[in-house]
Chains A and B, each alone.
Chain A
Amino acid sequence: MKTRLKNKTIPGFGLSLGITMAFVSMVVLIPMFSIVLQSSALGWSGFWKTVFDARVLASYRVSFLCSFIAASLNCFFGVMLAWVLSRYRFPGRRIIDGMIELPFALPTAVAGIALTALYSGKGWVGAFFADLDIKIAYTPAGITIALTFIGLPFIVRAVQPVLEQLDPVYEEAGRMLGASPARIFRSVILPEIVPALLTGFGLAFARALGEYGSVIFIAGNMPFKTEIAPLIIMSKLEQFNYGEATAVALTMLMASFVIMFCINVVQSRAARFVKE
């Protein structure tokens, strides 16, 4: 609390809070409120019927499951990538480091088309798996790959600074005390990066839930199998059916909020644990 009173770099608590609130209202709160308002036109029974329709339920499952798997995959590969980038010096490191953000900069539709071309039965990677009788594009596996692609930067950029700050003397101490490399990773490195990793996971997961542009090209979009929830929202909008579209959107929003809130709670616990 003391620090807040002393911190005068940014003038006036009242002024900065006021600007913050105005900004958040314009950009986040008012649009969110309009979603609630739009869907309320349906009434309770209409809302319920829309949101728990069998096909819509199936689309939530596809969305949440694929997003979860994609974010988990990214945790593994993202930490590995961050580790390599922060601990080793090799030619081309800066280029790879710069390329991490490409999934953000690339229009998602371009990413979707490129990934589909690569992973369909005719593409380089897809043809290899097709020989093994495994289909990637136009299945949930394809959706997961697209979502992994767009989520990777979140994990790398969350974990990388922590790894860079981590003093190697602790690892050295562990080695001196006779700990195995696996033990050092588990007991020294992992606890340090877990809070950042959770933040990255939350961001990647949330981003994947809302992703539309890249997924529709690789998904196949078959009802009950590879139809994602954002596509349901889009097709309701195409019918000029704003009420039902926003109802599905609101449900997604609530579910995401609950999940993000849980991740935040776990994350702050983990952060406190690290400090102690």
Chain B
Amino acid sequence: MKSLSRFFSFFLALATFFAASLFPATFVPAAELELTNVSYDPTRELYESFNKAFQKHYKAKTGKNISVVQSHGGSSKQARAVIEGNAADVVTLALAYDITAIEKAGLIKAGWQKSFPNNSSPYTSTIVFLVRKGNPKNLKDWGDLIRDGVGIITPNPKTSGGARWNYLAAWAWAHRQYKGDEKAVKDFIAKLFKRVLVLDTGARGSTNTFVQNGQGDVLLAWENEAYLALKEQKGKFEIVTPGLSILAEPPVAIVDSVVDKRGSREAATEYLHYLYSDEGQRIAGQNFYRPSNPVIAKEFGDRFDLKVNLVTVDDPIFGGWNKVQSVHFNDGGVFDQIYTR
């Protein structure tokens, strides 16, 4: 009995502690405006510095304080959260397909991709190889990856937006290499994925597997993610830009139904427009995303290989996200056929 009452008093103390730690937060004088930006995994560092710059800009322009709440996760998981009621004013996701899913749920108006310049993609990226220092397996291009004894690390295209770009980049290279012979391309992709050692569910997980846990010889990664790994682990890795890769255009959009309810359309529009300003573009470049403004991109010319051949998902060999998703990634699609017995 005694121990029971002791348990209850402990529990009560704990509950009081939590209650006390919760409440002060509600009494902090709130910023006059708040925006929620639902984004994907590797943009953490980018939006951390961008939000600070935007707050200053917004205060200077309108005299109002604004705060931005960030949320990060796998791109399609984030899209699902928004569809299921996570009230985001803006979404900044890894691929247009995920924003289209929100559009289909009726939260974003059709034609969102024309609302902002450059297919609503303020920054772009591409897929590169991250290899161990000195490139011991001498991996120069996609063709080298299917050699015997090469271990590849990539996330799973079924669960990761970034991995879909990996897959498409490999496909684009093979399509050029084998002059459009579909069977040869499929064979190449199958061989490539047979060399994969670990299929993580997201891009950050794969980076962790390759960098921290030392698995595999090459990581197929977002360019920005690869540079981040390079910065954090100096002298241990190298970046190899393949001869042909994909132009990844992570798009942004305003969630119409949310901003109309909250009356935050003006601030949300300003937020996304500011991504295209010179300062926004520079912040993107500093965080290893390729600025869409060619003038600013040139400033980062020593960082990015601007001459690399890039194919977009709207290229005739792919025909846009809807087609790519149903042909390649849906259940029973080309990707699944690699893993059948």
Residues in chain A within 8 A of chain B (CB atoms): 54-55, 113, 116-117, 120-123, 137-138, 216-217, 220-224, 231, 234-241, 244
Asked if residues A121 and B215 are in contact (CB atoms below 8 Å), the reply is yes
Q: B194-221 toward A: CB 8 Å interface, digit per residue (1/0)? A: 0011111100010011001111000000
Q: How far is the CA of A48 from the CA of B285 in the complex (A)?
A: 50
Using known A-B contacts A138-B197, A220-B198, A240-B80, determine if residue A120 contacts B341 with beta carbons closer than 8 Å.
no
Residues in chain B within 8 A of chain A (CB atoms): 74, 76-77, 80, 101, 156, 158-159, 196-201, 205, 208-209, 212-215, 325, 329-331, 336, 339-341
Residues of A within 8 A of B325 (CB): 239
Asked if residues A236 and B331 are in contact (CB atoms below 8 Å), the reply is yes
B213 touches which one: A122, A216, A222, A231 (CB < 8 A)? A122
Asked if residues A224 and B159 are in contact (CB atoms below 8 Å), the reply is no
Asked if residues B158 and A216 are in contact (CB atoms below 8 Å), the reply is no
Asked if residues A221 and B199 are in contact (CB atoms below 8 Å), the reply is yes
B213 (CB) vs chain A CBs: closest residue: A120
Residues of A within 8 A of B340 (CB): 54-55
Residues of A within 8 A of B212 (CB): 117, 122
A137 touches which one: B76, B101, B200, B213 (CB < 8 A)? B213
Using known A-B contacts A120-B214, A121-B214, A220-B199, determine if residue A239 contacts B341 with beta carbons closer than 8 Å.
no
CB distance from B145 to the nearest CB of A (A): 17
A123 (CB) vs chain B CBs: closest residue: B213
Q: How far is the CA of A216 from the CA of B329 in the complex (A)?
A: 20
B74 touches which one: A137, A223, A238, A244 (CB < 8 A)? A238
A223 (CB) vs chain B CBs: closest residue: B339
Asked if residues B205 and A217 are in contact (CB atoms below 8 Å), the reply is yes
CB distance from A234 to the nearest CB of B (A): 6
**16 extra interchain contacts, Cβ-Cβ under 8 A, other than A220-B197, A221-B156?**
A55-B340, A116-B213, A120-B209, A121-B214, A121-B215, A122-B212, A138-B197, A138-B198, A138-B215, A216-B205, A222-B196, A222-B199, A231-B159, A235-B159, A238-B80, A240-B76
Residues of B within 8 A of A117 (CB): 212-213
Residues of B within 8 A of A120 (CB): 209, 213-215
Residues of A within 8 A of B201 (CB): 216, 221, 231, 234-235
